Amino acid sequence: GDSVTQMEGPVTLSEEAFLTINCTYTATGYPSLFWYVQYPGEGLQLLLKATKADDKGSNKGFEATYRKETTSFHLEKGSVQVSDSAVYFCALSGVQGGSEKLVFGKGMKLTVNP
Amino acid sequence: ETGVTQTPRHLVMGMTNKKSLKCEQHLGHNAMYWYKQSAKKPLELMFVYNFKEQTENNSVPSRFSPECPNSSHLFLHLHTLQPEDSALYLCASSQDVAGGRNEQFFGPGTRLTVL
């Protein structure tokens, strides 16, 4: 079935540092790709998405580009803030167990220190 | 209330207890989901309901019993659980199933501890 592999961390950065979280995927067909974020004590919320190759999703200073040739969807932010401390999940809409669903990576915990 | 709400937020139960988790979505969506989130494991999809009908059961043990009386409410009935069932249980909804292409909106979760 389809799958997502992402950096697991945990990662600790200083405020204003550059962030990259790697995500690669294996899928049949042409999945949509997502980044979800989970702040402490909350559920997951969609951060950004891309539905086709070369699309760039962006939100709150975060960006990710759908790269079909490298099957990747890496998340980047130029200058992180303390408020970005959270767990980040890469996901795709794909086939697993014979049916289409959202397939998540294991998540990566980011801590940003002042 | 807005979005997706879940109650209770925390639950501690013994292995012989029976309890229920409740999820309500105020978004007018037609699909609802239960996920299990355990430490150091990917998010596990448990059940999917579309227009109140169960469309997916990912080999979940029968000690977890879902119920979807209407498109806005989803329950997870728990009985004779095991300590390894301790986890964060997340509810989500989306406009429809649509193969996961629609954005899913998540509730804050119920933190379950089984003693």
Both tokens of B40, joined, read 């150091």
Subunit contact A101:B101, Cβ cutoff 8 A: no
Does the beta-carbon distance from A101 to B48 stay under 8 Å? yes
Give residue B95's pLDDT: 85
Mutate to test the interface with A, among B103, B105, B111 (most CBs of A within 10 A): B103
Which residues of B are less than 8 Å from A43 in CB distance?
Answer: 4, 6, 90, 92, 106-109
Q: Count CB-CB contacts under 10 A for residue A41.
A: 9
Return the C-alpha torsion angle B59, B63, B68, B72, nearest 10.
Answer: -100
- Chains A, B: CB contacts within 8 A come to 56
Report residue A42 as tokens.
Answer: 């909350």
Does the CB of B101 have a partner CB in chain A at under 8 Å?
Answer: yes
Contact B107, B92 (CB under 8 A): yes
- How many other β-carbons are positioned within 10 Å of the β-carbon of residue B96? 13
Chain-centroid distance of CA B62 in Å reads: 14
| The pLDDT of residue A61 is above 60 | yes
Put simply, the chain A residues between 54 and 113 with a CB less than 8 A from any chain B CB are 89, 92-94, 97, 99-107
Q: How far is CA B69 from CA A36, A44, B23, B51, B72, in A?
A: 29, 24, 11, 10, 8
Q: Which residues, in sequence order, are bridge partners of residue A78? A: none
**Could you list the pLDDT tens digit for every one of the 115 residues in chain B?**
679 999 999 999 998 889 999 999 999 999 999 999 998 788 899 999 988 888 888 889 999 999 999 999 999 999 999 999 999 999 999 887 765 567 889 999 999 999 9
Asked if B43 reaches chain A (Cβ–Cβ under 8 Å), the answer is yes
